[in-house]
Amino acid sequence: MNSFPAAPAANPLGGSIQDYLTRPSPDLAEKARAFCAWYDARVAQGGFPYGKQLLATPGAETSVQHADGLVTHGINFASQDYLGLSTHPSIREAALDAMDRYGVHSGGSPTLAGGVSLCGPLCELIGEQLKMPYVMLSPTGWAAGYGLLRGLVRETDHVIIDQLAHNCLHEGAAASTRQVHVFRHLDVNHARLKLGAIRARDTRGGILVVTESLFSMDADSPDLAAFQKLCREFNATLVVDVAHDFGCTGPGGTGEIGRQQMLGQIDLVIGTFSKTFATNGGFVATHRREIREYLRHLSPSTTFSSAISPLQVAIAHAALRLVRSEEGAQRRLQLANAVATLREELASRDVELMGRPAPMVPVLIGRDDVARTAVRLLAEMGVVTNLIEYPAVSRATARFRLQVMSSHTSEMCREAAGKVARAILSAREVCSSATRAVAV
């Protein structure tokens, strides 16, 4: 069963992708060559859990093939489909209808003729759900986040951003202005210090304050009212990324914004369809028509990219209708129950959990070598999950991020919790005996 080598020779269980970002050489590919050697060693070791390929639908159980060929068939906590809508019959029907009506391809940018007539009703429904009347669609959530920042922020403006905000937001900030200020995770007082310092010397520049409603690596949330109030005080604009909670948590699926009673009160919201709405695609929502029209023409990842496809639009529309229905409420309840069971079962086995109950359950492991060994053992035991390691999270805080679906049963949660606990325990033993062997 356990094919993991006990004492790695060249230690591919150490190091990180970060080590290969820069490597001075006239040959631009030198860093890629060095990275590839490390990658190959990790794959050979069996400790490379990325780039898994699905052999079946990404449901609560699935089959995946790992980079070294290992096939795992079992309980799946590695896919993002929080309400399990990707296999819902009305989603399938909506996709087939859209295919019949519009074909499979958008055929161009939304700025030209790539948008289909169903985009309007989808935007209206998102607007109703968020109490924000103006909505723009993007081909992905990443494009929505990047495009909002790149579209709105200029060199003379500032971005104040949570240190753990998603890559699309940090990339958008870095591409838009050199005046990017990072505040400590969730820390509204630290953001206040940054805002105060900026406004003391610059009353003319725009300031965008950027955060998420639910951080998926940590399962925690900011105080949205406090951030919005701060922005009003300093004449700044707040943007909140609702990727991981919109639709799958909160009253009526309004997410953390609804849970914190801030519906319709946030300046700008970005979101994605890829976690709860069973398809690719994203959106920006605003209270101001002029912002939407401006972004439509000046948000590069939307303007200069092909529009979200007709199938994606139809699926997102059908999924949002389900989210707003009685069935959606039922699925949210099932999801919350599955999360509660999984957390209880893990905690009762002394597994260290992070954050609060949310659709993802982060399990802290710590050392990279232990985490890389554990994720492989878990795959061999028939549980599919994702390992998050540095630089996606800070050093020595490697973790599993178990993404829960409404279709995970209590039995699945119990079985998976037992295996997670066993995998981490065995991995600690394997790695400490390897460390002892090196010391001798």
Ligand X SMILES: Cc1ncc(COP(=O)(O)O)c(C=O)c1O
Which residues are at the interface with ligand X (CB under 6 A)? Answer: 140-142, 145, 166, 168, 212, 216, 241, 243-244, 272, 274, 280, 282
Two tokens, residue 31: 């860093």
Cβ of residue 305: shortest distance to ligand X, in angstroms? 12
Cβ of residue 181: shortest distance to ligand X, in angstroms? 20
Closest CB to ligand X among 258 and 359? 359
Closest CB to ligand X among 384 and 431? 384
Do residues 208 and 237 lie in contact, with contact meaning Cβ atoms separated by under 8 Å?
A: yes
Two tokens, residue 191: 């953001």
Q: How far apart are CA 331 and CA 325, in angstroms?
A: 10
Q: CB within 8 A of 226, min separation 6: which ones?
A: 188
Cβ of residue 166: shortest distance to ligand X, in angstroms? 4
Closest CB to ligand X among 12 and 282? 282
Do residues 135 and 284 lie in contact, with contact meaning Cβ atoms separated by under 8 Å?
A: yes
Cβ of residue 284: shortest distance to ligand X, in angstroms? 12
- Say whether 53 sits in a helix, a strand or coil: strand
Closest CB to ligand X among 157 and 212? 212
Cβ of residue 421: shortest distance to ligand X, in angstroms? 27
Do residues 145 and 176 lie in contact, with contact meaning Cβ atoms separated by under 8 Å?
A: no
Closest CB to ligand X among 140 and 397? 140
- Which position's Cβ is nearest ligand X? 141
Cβ of residue 155: shortest distance to ligand X, in angstroms? 24
Closest CB to ligand X among 126 and 168? 168
Cβ of residue 140: shortest distance to ligand X, in angstroms? 4
Closest CB to ligand X among 152 and 430? 152
Closest CB to ligand X among 218 and 369? 218
Residue 150, burial from CB neighbour count under 10 angstroms (0-12, 13-18, 19+) = buried
Closest CB to ligand X among 403 and 426? 403
Do residues 132 and 258 lie in contact, with contact meaning Cβ atoms separated by under 8 Å?
A: no
Cβ of residue 112: shortest distance to ligand X, in angstroms? 22
Q: How far apart are CA 37 and CA 156, in angstroms?
A: 43
| Long-range contacts of the stretch 159-162 (C-beta < 8 A, 24+) | 159/207, 159/208, 159/209, 159/210, 160/191, 160/194, 160/195, 160/198, 160/207, 160/208, 160/209, 160/210, 160/236, 161/209, 161/210, 161/211, 162/186, 162/210, 162/211, 162/212, 162/215, 162/222
Closest CB to ligand X among 157 and 241? 241
Cβ of residue 337: shortest distance to ligand X, in angstroms? 24
Establish how many alpha carbons lie within 13 A of residue 149's alpha carbon, considering only the half-sphere containing its beta carbon. Answer: 33
Cβ of residue 288: shortest distance to ligand X, in angstroms? 22
Residue 22, burial from CB neighbour count under 10 angstroms (0-12, 13-18, 19+) = exposed
Do residues 313 and 139 lie in contact, with contact meaning Cβ atoms separated by under 8 Å?
A: no
Q: How far apart are CA 125 and CA 110, in angstroms?
A: 19
R_g over Cα of the chain: 22
Q: How far apart are CA 92 and CA 14, in angstroms?
A: 44
Cβ of residue 303: shortest distance to ligand X, in angstroms? 17
Closest CB to ligand X among 150 and 166? 166
